[in-house]
Chains A and B, each alone.
Chain A
Amino acid sequence: MVSVINTVDTSHEDMIHDAQMDYYGTRLATCSSDRSVKIFDVRNGGQILIADLRGHEGPVWQVAWAHPMYGNILASCSYDRKVIIWKEENGTWEKTHEHMGHDSSVNSVCWAPHDYGLILACGSSDGAISLLTYTGLGQWEVKKISNAHTIGCNAVSWAPAVVPGSLIDQPSGQKPSYIKKFASGGCDNLIKLWKEEEDGQWKEEQKLEAHSDWVRDVAWAPSIGLPTSTIASCSQDGRVFIWTCDDASGNTWSPKLLHKFNDVVWHVSWSITANILAVSGGDNKVTLWKESVDGQWVCISDVNKGQGSVSTSITEGQQNEQ
């Protein structure tokens, strides 16, 4: 049974485009067409506004929290072609870096697994993907993949870090060598997989073709210890595909159609601990899917927007206003 345990009044003055919990579920970041990014402390069912960050000059599309080992760091991307990285220093949130390397709206930002360092991937409507790497002392190194997708890139998602076998006996002080990969989805109806080469350059490793319209979102599933890799993709064509790759062979990705919806599917997202896929439909629902024993994907729940009351939780004083 699912219950609403907290309703946060963000007081955004315009449409909210993204909301993200931090690593521990104690803070909530939101961004909006009102150009602001807000951060709330939501522990114990409360809501305390910690920061109201201004700096973007257009609607802010996405926010992403970095791993807590780097401190409290949040990235945001906007229609104003900028990516801003915010950091909490001595209790206050400030802009710590601004990236202006794109010619068009930046649609998606995603932090790499913490094992790789502090690296941010950004996808833009100018078709390029930029990768910002923190090199220390306030400096960020930029690498750009131009023309990653024709017309535009809509989403980026990193592959989970694979612990290399040689990590156990590393000579002291040496950095282990990870194979860094991420996936991107674009207006060319394609999903592309990118890999970092030894010389530090990013190369297109794979093209995944199955959609017949713009790919709106890609999400690489977290690792649950199995040898397969899984990516979910959704598109303007109403379809959601689950792509799997048996890591033994390494390079063959096979798509399975999860479902064909009646409308554009905008967003897919994997749960962090249970490998449940949440899919937003254009039909104003969020559906939850899980894989059954025989490899079929089954819908386990519908979360539907609606009017009126909902099964409330035990805590009193829920505001179920319209």
Chain B
Amino acid sequence: MEELDGEPTVTLIPGVNSQKKQMCFDWGPGEMLVCETSFSKKEKSEMVPGCPYIHIIRKDIDVYCKILRKLFNESHGIFVGLQRIEEELTGKSRKAQLVRVSKNYRSVIRACMEEMHQLAIAAKDPAGDSQFSSQISILSAMELIWNLCEILFIEVAPAGPLLLHLLDWVRLHVCEVDSLSADVLGSENPSKHKDFWKLPGNTQTLTELELKWQHWHEECERHLQDGTFASSPHLEALCKIMLGDEAALLEEKELLSNWYHFLVTRLLYSHPTVKPMDLHRYAQSSLDVFLGGESNTEPLDNILLAAFEFDIHQVIKECSTALSNWWFVAHLTDLLDHCKLLQSHNLYFGSNMREFLLLEYASGLFAHHSLWQLGVDYFDYCPELGRVSLELHIERIPLSTEQKALKVLRVCEQRQMTEQVRSICKILAMKAVRNNRLGSALSWSIRAKDAAFATLVSDRFLRDYCERGCFSDLDLIDNLGPAMMLSDRLTFLGKYREFHRLYGEKRFVDAAALLLSLMTSQIAPRSFWMTLLTDALPLLEQKQVIFSAEQTYELMRCLEDLTSGRLVHGEPDAQQLQDDDIETTKVEMLRIGLARNLARSIIKEGSLEGS
């Protein structure tokens, strides 16, 4: 057995508590069921009251969280947009575009935080309040990490501007920095400072910056040594800080909220032109010095450290463990992948890291009754296992309303998932048949292109007609169009209905021809011929001659065919005799009608026009 680096997480299930009992489990479509049981099957129970609880457990329950809904929705838009513009991302503008996408994601996080903040204020409920505040702090941490990743990995700020970006980063996330900066910067030599920082680095080379800084640093040192600030210990301390004196800086520890704030401040005054590759050394030491061995590192610290070390995989891994859902790592990893920063990491579970995380995130979305629609797009952009994952998930979406069923079907049809379409339509068709909604059943079976089922439903229609003497769902049958060809029985149903329409429109000759063709072309099932012949009777009884002599011969042949095929099965009972009587009468009537028609048609055809 291979080992992952780290023990598998253990989840404790409450209540299942006994030495003798075991845990029974099974999978649902998106969850797991566990309950207490005893596997060794004994006929007699032990008479020990068992635990009657069944626990349903899931991963990714954040998908149910209403507040995060906006986050999921809006980030979905950004994600899809990023995939689509991938081909267009070239050359110099590429980096700028990717940075913009990153900023978009971050603004979505901030918008979500803001909304939660408003809700918390409005709610005025202490329990809800704590829930909100914990969510807000999680989102805040996510934005902090993302921002740092954006600076280090995407923006790839070179030495010089790097510190500016880090300053912004700290300033944005740590409110107190403003007061400290103001303090420190509001020193005796504001002009020198202004000069120094006015330059964004575009017009100066790194070396020039270094020189300027060196010069200023030396001047400060001279001032300190000369005792310029001797009269004011406060100013003296300030000066020491500006020279990057660690001890002095640490004395103001309360003003620094955390170690990365300390790090950036320290760098500001001792190594403002720090290079990215040197960052991690200062980071580690800042962490150690700031904590001073008092407390342990928290997950957030480890993540930030990994970022300063430019270890992208470690960042993703730590985030995956620390956060309760896949949203963050899935989107960040995808973005970094577009920046071509992920090597094909030999992940344990096949495919690459990006796809793995996207699949996990998307699977979680399918648990939700409407967010699944977002999940579809994520699966679409997973080239290896996306399609098959979508096929498995989409069949399990409960088809609670027709509208939802149509949505699901459209997704499947757009992607030529014919098996899924067939299966879903069949489920809906059979449900319709059970509820006697034949029209609905027929349309579902047509959509599924399921010939066998269409035949079954058509048979039901015809049976209904025989019993009630009329058709249901005329609209549907009248407008079948080319779908009629799906099955022979369905074609017959459509054509038979057409016969009735023609008759209704008094287009008797056309109706007659159609009726005959239904029998001679063998499209009509044998069992229905008697009905068809009976339908011919009124046409035979018309004043004018409708069936030609040849047609009449055909009809006669059909009738003889039908009657000669009848056999008597054993002793006929009373009902059967009665039925037989009716049958015999019908046949007699038909024979008379056909004979009469034959005579009339022969005469008509033999005569000259007008006579």
Contacts and interface: CB of A to CB of B under 8 A. Distances in A.
A198 interface: no
Given A61-B41, A284-B22, A272 B15 contact: no
Contacts of A16: 24, 35-37, 50, 52, 54
Given A19-B24, A33-B45, A267-B24, A308 B348 contact: no
Interface residues of A, number: 99
A173 B445 CA distance: 12
Interface stretch (B94-102, B110-118, B332-340, B426-434): B426-434
Contact of B25 (A6, A170, A278, A308): A278
Given A19-B35, A69-B427, A267 B56 contact: no
B377 interface: no
Interface stretch (B220-228, B299-307, B308-316, B385-393): B385-393
Contacts of B22: 266, 280, 282, 284, 305
Interface stretch (A20-28, A143-151, A183-191, A200-208): A20-28
A25 B29 contact: yes
Given A259-B1, A303-B25, A298 B348 contact: yes
Interface string B455-494: 1000000000000000000000000000000111100000
A306 B143 CA distance: 36
A164 interface: no
Contacts of B31: 5, 21, 25
B52 A303 contact: no
Tell me which of B3, B22, B131 has the highest count of chain A C-beta atoms within 10 A of its own C-beta.
Answer: B22
Nearest to A300: B8
Interface of A is mostly: loop
Contacts of A4: 13-14, 55-57
A15 B27 contact: no
B33 A19 contact: yes
Interface stretch (A92-100, A126-134, A247-255, A313-321): A313-321
B324 A1 contact: yes
Contacts of A293: 346-350
B15 A321 contact: yes
A301 B8 contact: yes
Given A58-B43, A280-B39, A300 B54 contact: no
A14 B45 contact: yes
A105 to B, nearest CB: 7
B346 to A, nearest CB: 7
Contacts of A28: 33, 54, 56
B56 A15 contact: no
Interface in A268-296: 269-274, 278, 280, 282, 284-288, 290-293, 296
A167 to B, nearest CB: 9
A10 B54 contact: yes
Contacts of B391: 225
A309 B14 contact: yes
B32 interface: yes
Interface of A: 1-21, 23-26, 28, 30, 33-34, 42, 58-59, 61, 67-71, 79, 105, 107, 114, 163, 170-175, 216, 222, 224-225, 258-259, 264, 266-267, 269-274, 278, 280, 282, 284-288, 290-293, 296-311, 313-316, 320-322
18 contacts: A6-B55, A7-B54, A7-B56, A16-B52, A19-B24, A19-B35, A24-B398, A28-B56, A107-B41, A172-B486, A225-B387, A292-B2, A292-B349, A298-B1, A303-B23, A305-B16, A309-B12, A322-B14
The 8 closest A-B pairs by CB, nearest first: A21-B28, A172-B451, A305-B16, A306-B12, A24-B398, A266-B39, A225-B388, A292-B348
